[in-house]
């Protein structure tokens, strides 16, 4: 494995405050308590609790208990975050790319608002953060540093002014696209329209860099990734994607682009959604799409029969979910290819309907670290994977922004 074997730095030991600077035992620990005590502190790149609050509760927090969300089927709550040693979380303010852009902007503002209100309800456990100094302070206070990431460039409505205001409200990364292209960047899962970034898209990225907002390459096409990397600047992130060499999903990152991201100092944060992790699940997903189309064609005008046909297929052919070992395979592949300094965790929890077996909620990170320890990962490299790499990349963005503080903001004409 091409991993770094340097000693644990004082900064990394800070990230282990809730665990220890010792190692996970070579054999699997016998209890979850043992796993928790030896696992490093996690900074996860992508969790969709805000989306759940919008879809399930219309952003109404009255009556919502974040100390126990199991009954509602959510993957995240405070006790499970603690059990998983999650010490920092990017909460994703996702809104559908199908929304007209003005509505997407409003919905994003509402998602930021509801997440801030949720954090404020739990001051003893959570701390809203916009920089690494706050993250480190939260760790010292044994609080969960809570940051905001925007999922999809449609959330700025084609406006650099809106981008700047989102930054002012606390957004510290933006995923450039979601499942569809927008007017200035191509998505990985849409027909190419721009061959990467348009001139305005280049302005968006440069303005993000000037502000200190991380450029997130999850969901974007490889030409878009290459255009971003050609601009230079601070390291990019890929907040919740995997290795295409293992699973050929368009959402995953090819080896050539992984190497370019590593050379740029960036980080690829591995997620837990089976169709992105397990090739058999990707194939299953394609077969299910075909079955949905078939059921629709055979039952035109009878939506109940169409729904029943798909349900019967799902029951007969459940999705192959894979396991923690499959997630570890992606982490290993990226680390071997570009080094342990360039891989992280972005579970996509509460943003997907299923995960690999063994990683069903936010409490399960220690089991993943135990698996990696058995594969030969050192505690120093586990600390990099868990939070050290994310801390380094965000610090680099802050340093870049400080150096460009006097730069004039970029401008573009308004569209209406």
| Exposure class string for 346-363: b at 16+ Cβ within 10 A, else e | bbbbbbbeebbebbebbb
Is residue 65 part of the annotated active site? The answer reads no
**Distance of alpha carbon 123 from alpha carbon 118, whole angstroms:** 9
Reported as type and span, the H/E element at residue 161 is helix 160-168
Q: Which residue has the tokens 């991380």?
A: 214
User: Cα torsion for 382, 252, 243, 50, to the nearest 10°?
Assistant: 20
Check 44, 51, 178, 398 and give the catalytic one: 178
Let me know if 240 is a catalytic residue.
yes
Q: Which of 44, 61, 163, 46 is nearest to 116 (CA)?
A: 61
The answer to whether the beta carbons of residues 30 and 85 sit under 8 Å apart is no
Catalytic residue (choose from 240, 249, 333, 342) = 240
**174 bridge partner residues:** 150, 215
Whole-angstrom Cα distance, residue 280 to residue 68?
A: 33
Which one of the listed residues 219, 249, 333, 342 is annotated catalytic?
Answer: 219
Which of these is catalytic: 36, 44, 48, 350?
A: 48
194 catalytic, yes or no?
Answer: no
Instruction: Judge whether 46 counts as a catalytic residue.
Output: yes
**Which of 151, 216, 329, 371 is labelled catalytic?**
151
Residue 348 annotated to the active site? yes
Contact 376/335 with Cβ under 8 angstroms?
no
What are the start-end ranges of the H helices in 265-411? 274-277, 279-298, 303-316, 324-338, 365-374, 379-383, 389-403
- Between the alpha carbon of residue 14 and those of residues 9, 152, 267, 344, the distances in Å are 9, 32, 20, 17
Q: E strands of 157-286, at which residues?
A: 171-175, 214-216, 237-238, 267-270
* 298: its two tokens: 């055979």
Question: Does residue 151 carry a catalytic annotation?
Answer: yes
**Among residues 348, 361, 371, 398, which one is catalytic?**
348
Collect all residues with Cβ–Cβ distance below 8 Å to 16 and sequence separation of at least 6. Answer: 8, 40, 41, 383
User: Active-site residues: which are they?
Assistant: 46, 48, 151, 178, 219, 240, 348
């Amino acid at each position: 494995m091409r991993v770094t074997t340097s000693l644990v730095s004082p900064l990394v030991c800070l990230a282990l405050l809730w665990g220890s600077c010792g190692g996970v035992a070579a054999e699997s620990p016998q209890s979850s308590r043992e796993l928790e005590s030896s696992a490093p502190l996690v900074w996860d790149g992508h969790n969709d609790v805000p989306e759940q609050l919008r879809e399930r509760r219309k952003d109404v927090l009255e009556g919502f208990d974040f100390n126990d969300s199991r009954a509602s089927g959510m993957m995240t709550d405070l006790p499970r975050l603690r059990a998983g040693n999650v010490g920092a979380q990017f909460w994703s303010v996702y809104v559908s790319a199908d929304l007209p852009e003005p509505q997407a902007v409003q919905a994003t503002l509402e998602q930021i608002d509801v997440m801030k209100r949720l954090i404020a309800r739990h001051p003893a456990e959570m701390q809203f953060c916009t920089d690494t100094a706050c993250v480190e302070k939260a760790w010292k206070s044994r609080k969960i540093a809570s940051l905001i990431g925007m999922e999809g460039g449609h959330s700025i409505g084609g406006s650099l002014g809106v981008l700047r205001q989102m930054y002012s409200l606390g957004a510290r990364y933006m995923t450039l696209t979601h499942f569809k292209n927008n007017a200035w960047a191509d998505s990985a899962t849409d027909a190419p329209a721009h061959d990467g970034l348009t001139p305005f898209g280049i302005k968006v990225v440069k303005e993000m860099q000037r502000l200190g907002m991380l450029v997130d390459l999850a969901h974007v096409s490889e030409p878009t990734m290459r255009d971003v990397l050609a601009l230079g600047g601070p390291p990019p992130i890929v907040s919740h994607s995997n290795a295409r060499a293992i699973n050929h999903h368009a959402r995953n990152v090819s080896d050539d682009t992984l190497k370019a991201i590593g050379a740029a100092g960036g980080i690829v944060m591995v997620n837990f959604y089976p169709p992105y992790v397990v090739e058999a699940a990707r194939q299953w997903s394609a077969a299910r799409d075909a079955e949905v189309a078939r059921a629709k064609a055979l039952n035109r005008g009878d939506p109940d029969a169409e729904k029943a046909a798909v349900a019967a297929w799902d029951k007969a052919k459940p999705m192959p979910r894979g396991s923690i070992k499959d997630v570890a395979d992606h982490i290993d592949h990226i680390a071997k290819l570009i080094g342990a300094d360039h891989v992280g965790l972005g579970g996509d929890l509460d943003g997907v309907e299923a995960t690999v077996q063994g990683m069903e909620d936010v409490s399960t990170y220690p089991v993943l670290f135990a698996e990696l320890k058995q594969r030969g990962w050192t505690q120093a490299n586990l600390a990099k994977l868990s939070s050290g790499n994310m801390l380094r990349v965000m610090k680099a963005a802050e340093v870049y922004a400080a150096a460009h503080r006097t730069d004039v903001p970029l401008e573009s004409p308004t569209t209406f």
